Amino acid sequence: MKTLRSDVMLIWLVATTALCVGLLINQFRDTPLPLVYRDKAERLQDSVQRIVSKESASAPAPIVQLPEKLSLEDFSSYVESKRGLVLDARPEIFHRLGHVPGAISLPRDDFETGYAALKGKLEADRSQPIVIYCSSASCEDSGLVKKSLSALGFSNVALYEGGWSDWTNAKKPEETAQ
């Protein structure tokens, strides 16, 4: 009985020590893992806050203001004219498999890393027209990315709500990542 009690105490001591060390290490990470579940909108907001805290920028007034939402025809015309950026808010793997011609991947699920990679192109002109799409009309990722870009000072951002499914159903041109 004495051996069992000492074994339980040893296990408890090791587990408690491991938990404390893990929590301590987590606090020193650049982006600590949350101890409480946060939904995708909250996680994206955290990413935006980290980006904002690293830099402060003001947005100039937009030259040509886009409507808030684009129809398939308007979006198709926008893509063909190449008069601004097209952002794909879907996960990177889906972008690689197929995307709207000229679209750049800025996935909602890895926004902070994607934004850092595109920082130069995005911040060259914060008032440049940007249209964002995701998988379908029921996908909320493009709306979340739009909200995040607006919080970062981008003033001319629109949504193509039909998304990739509407684009492909209309037999519009596609590209794949090289």
Whether 176 is covered by a domain: the verdict is: no
- Looking at the structure, tell me whether residues 29 and 47 fall in a common domain: no
Question: Residues 122, 165: one domain?
Answer: yes
Q: Above 90 in pLDDT, residue 174?
A: yes
For the chain, the maximum distance between any two Cα atoms, rounded to a whole number of angstroms, is 81
Tokens representing 23 are 């929590």
Q: Give the helix/strand (H/E) hosting 158.
A: strand 157-159
Strand ordering across the sheet containing 104-105: 104-105, 85-88, 130-133, 157-159
Same structural domain for residues 98 and 127? yes
Rounded-to-integer distance, Cα 94 and Cα 142, Å: 14
User: Is residue 13 assigned to a domain?
Assistant: yes
Question: Do 19 and 81 sit in the same domain of this protein?
Answer: no
Structural domain including 2 reads 1-33
Q: What is the mean pLDDT of the chain?
A: 87
Kindly state whether residue 103 falls inside one of the protein's structural domains: yes
Whether residue 28 is found in the same domain as residue 54: no
**In terms of domains, do 160 and 131 share one?**
yes
Q: Are residues 100 and 164 in the same domain?
A: yes
| pLDDT at position 32 over 90 | no
Average pLDDT for residues 139-154, to the nearest whole number? 92
DSSP secondary structure string, 65-124? PPPSB--HHHHHHHHHHT-SEEEE-S-HHHHHH-BSTT-EE--GGGHHHHHHHHHHHHHT
Question: Could you tell me if 22 and 91 lie in one domain?
Answer: no
Q: How far is CA 140 from CA 94, 130, 137, 178, in A?
A: 16, 17, 8, 27
Same domain, yes or no: 19 and 103: no
- Report the alpha-carbon angle 73-111-59, nearest 5: 70
178 in a domain, yes or no? no
In a domain, 18, yes or no: yes
Number of structural domains the chain divides into: 2
Give me the CATH number covering residue 60: 3.40.250.10
pLDDT at 61: 45
Strands 104-105 and 157-159: unpaired
Least confident of 38-47, 48-57, 75-84, 155-164: 48-57
- Asked whether residue 144 is domain-assigned, the answer is yes
Q: What angle do CA 38, 108, 72 make, to 5 degrees?
A: 135
**Residues 18 and 53 both lie in one domain:** no
- pLDDT tens per residue, range 120-141: 888 888 888 999 999 998 999 9
Whether residue 148 is contained in a domain is answered as yes
What pLDDT, in 10s, does the model give residues 70-113?
Answer: 999 999 999 999 888 999 999 999 999 999 999 999 999 999 99
Lowest mean pLDDT among 31-35, 99-103, 150-154: 31-35
Tokens encoding 128: 């440049």
